[in-house]
Amino acid sequence: MLEISFAKATLPKEGVLVLPWAEGTALAGQAAALDKSLKGGLARALEAAAFKGKAGQSLTLYAAGPYKRILVLGLGKAEAPRAAETLGGRLAAALASEAEASLLAEDLTPAQAAAAGLGARLRAYRFDVYRTTLKPDEAPKLAQLKILCADPHAAEADFTPLAAVAHGVEFTRDLVTEPANILYPAEFAKRAEGLKKLGVKVELFDEDDLKKLGFGALLAVAQGSARAPRMVVMQWLGASSHEGEGKKAKKPKDPLVFVGKGVTFDSGGISLKPAGGMEDMKWDMAGAGAVAGAMAALAGRRAKVDAVGLIGLVENMPSGTATRPGDVVKSHSGQSIEILNTDAEGRLVLADVLHYAVQRFSPKYMVDLATLTGAIIIGLGHEYAGLFANDDELAAQLTTAGALVGEKLWRMPLAAPGEAYDKELNSPIADVKNIGGGRAAGSITAAQFLQRFVDKTPWAHLDIAGMAWATKEAPVTPKGATGFGVRLLDAFARGFED
């Protein structure tokens, strides 16, 4: 993990120095002093490279005076959304071969300096748990970043809650990256239980518990696997615990409820997936990972909000005990479900957990996250997650939160019960079937299915299938697990804090 520290904005004596350059600015302050010490070498280099400080521009000077390396990064418009965060991410990527560096951030506000630290930490994430040998150019090196700014105490104060959010993202990325032979339902539940050390109340439900609760839909998915299912309920009572002269709350009041799909491996069951790309199905639990990471973030920064995270954990495998296409099961809600495709399993898991959450916690708002459909990738690619909601205000709040942290949502249609898309799910022998009439509108009919299990609760479904894993680098995201959803839920929750 990259260590971030803050200090007064004075030029370091040596090492690797990063200089952010805002568009339309001139050499001043410590940057002017640096140029003077280099006998005008910095100004000449900037002029020769036609460096204007635009976002994305970079310039490197090697062996410049006492410095091993000076990296000048274009900040663009300093007031642009996430400009400083993006700068920090670019810094971490460019200096991956260096052990430590200093960022001269005298012109950044404390909040911007903190954001730069967040961006650097998120971009520096690595998962090398199972690699026994690393080539010299592959070994992680950047371990320390010192941010030199006008008010280091204020910047550090701003960074502290961001560090908790970064931890939540890293926790999620670790979970999503783990192979399915290591991270199966019981192991996932064990790791979620580790959130107790942050003050999260954690309850674990095993297979017998789920049978007693009547989780027929979730259990139908799990019954083909040798790995037993689990459900985890995580409660952070950050608002209630601050009421009544500091008395510790025993139950949440009007909580925000987050529900995650946790299929630790999805073979498709009897409706077996093609072999090509099936290895990617280890991250079919990314929704549950995001919920666990969000709970870690909220607890880590001591958020003054009551939030409950529930995750349904199963493995979907083909075997002699697996659910067959055409089987009918009874869900926690009492509704019967005709399972026509066992590869439409995530919605079965969510159906039981969503209804249980409604019945037990009476959410103010409920949001589920799931890598639910390939159809959403066809529709939105890897730029937006699909947003389906039965409440306009909730949809707007989530969209705003996502835009704030760069986790974008695009609202998709959701029909009222009994209308066009919803009618696709009517079954001739049960209350509902788990797929629509064909491939058309697959992500929409999946959301319509979920809507049947939330009663009148204000609810949103985020289909994150296109956002949970990245095949190319982004400013604050390396290749691999993105941790998408953690920052979005954290930003959403901030809207309900005093």
**Residue 390 near residue 414 (C-beta atoms within 8 A):** yes
If one compares 12 and 251, the residue with the highest pLDDT of the two is 12
Is pLDDT of 217 > 60?
yes
SS3 at position 18: strand
pLDDT of residue 250: 77
What gap in Å lies between CA 418 and CA 391, rounded to an integer?
Answer: 17
pLDDT band at 240 (very low <50, low <70, confident <90, very high): confident
Residues 6+ apart with CB under 8 A from 246: none
The tokens of 66 are what? 């006492």
| Residue position matching structure tokens 């954990």 | 313
Could you read off the pLDDT of 412-464 as tens digits, one per residue?
Answer: 999 998 899 999 999 999 999 999 988 899 999 999 999 999 999 999 999 99
Residues 6+ apart with CB under 8 A from 366: 256, 257, 258, 259, 354, 357, 358, 454, 457, 458, 459, 460
CA dist 493 → 53, 60, 287, 294, 297 (Å)? 35, 40, 17, 10, 11
Which amino acid type is present at position 108? L
Is pLDDT of 145 > 60?
yes
| Closest by CA position to 443, among listed 373, 378, 377, 382 | 373
Q: Which stretches of 238-322 are assigned E, i.e. beta strand?
A: 256-266, 306-316
The tokens of 120 are what? 């650097």
Instruction: Give the other-Cβ count within 10 Å of 452's Cβ.
Output: 20
The percentage of the chain sitting over the pLDDT mark of 70, rounded to a whole number, equals 98
| Closest by CA position to 408, among listed 458, 358, 467 | 467
Instruction: Give the other-Cβ count within 10 Å of 455's Cβ.
Output: 13
Residues 6+ apart with CB under 8 A from 240: 249, 251, 252, 253, 306
Query: Nearest 5°: phi and psi at 285?
Result: -110, 15
What gap in Å lies between CA 193 and CA 202, rounded to an integer?
Answer: 6
Using only C-alpha atoms, the chain has a radius of gyration, in whole angstroms, of 25
What gap in Å lies between CA 105 and CA 20, rounded to an integer?
Answer: 7
Q: Give the CATH number of domain 3-159.
A: 3.40.220.10
Could you read off the pLDDT of 290-317 as tens digits, one per residue?
Answer: 999 999 999 999 999 999 999 999 999 9
pLDDT of residue 24: 87
What gap in Å lies between CA 430 and CA 328, rounded to an integer?
Answer: 7
Long-range contacts of 135-141 (CB under 8 A, 24+ apart): 137/97, 140/96, 141/96, 141/97, 141/98, 141/99
Is pLDDT of 242 > 70?
no
Query: Nearest 5°: phi and psi at 461?
Result: -115, 125
| Residue position matching structure tokens 């985020």 | 462
The percentage of the chain sitting over the pLDDT mark of 90, rounded to a whole number, equals 92
Active site residue ranges: 273, 347
Could you read off the pLDDT of 342-383 as tens digits, one per residue?
Answer: 999 999 999 999 999 999 999 999 999 999 999 999 999 999
CA dist 8 → 106, 113, 128, 156, 406 (Å)? 8, 12, 34, 12, 30
Could you read off the pLDDT of 76-103 as tens digits, one per residue?
Answer: 998 889 999 999 999 999 999 999 999 9
Is pLDDT of 201 > 70?
yes
Alpha carbons within 13 angstroms on the beta-carbon side of residue 483 total: 30
Class of the CATH-defined domain 183-494: alpha beta
Judging by DSSP bridges, how do beta strands 365-370 and 256-266 pair with one another? parallel
- Average the pLDDT over 175-190 and give the result: 98
- Average the pLDDT over 269-283 and give the result: 97
- Average the pLDDT over 108-122 and give the result: 97
Is pLDDT of 247 > 70?
no
As beta bridge partners, residue 184 has: none
Could you read off the pLDDT of 48-85 as tens digits, one per residue?
Answer: 999 999 999 999 999 999 999 999 999 999 888 999 99
Q: What does pTM read for this prediction?
A: 0.96
Is pLDDT of 246 > 70?
no
Is pLDDT of 116 > 90?
yes
- Average the pLDDT over 146-162 and give the result: 98
User: Where along the chain do its domains lie?
Assistant: 3-159, 183-494
What gap in Å lies between CA 493 and CA 498, rounded to an integer?
Answer: 11
Give one DSSP letter per residue of 373-425, joined into a string. -SHHHHHHTTT-EEEEES-HHHHHHHHHHHHHHT--EEE---PPTTSHHHHTT
DSSP state of 249: P
What gap in Å lies between CA 16 and CA 37, rounded to an integer?
Answer: 16
pLDDT band at 232 (very low <50, low <70, confident <90, very high): very high
Residues 6+ apart with CB under 8 A from 83: 55, 75, 76, 77, 112
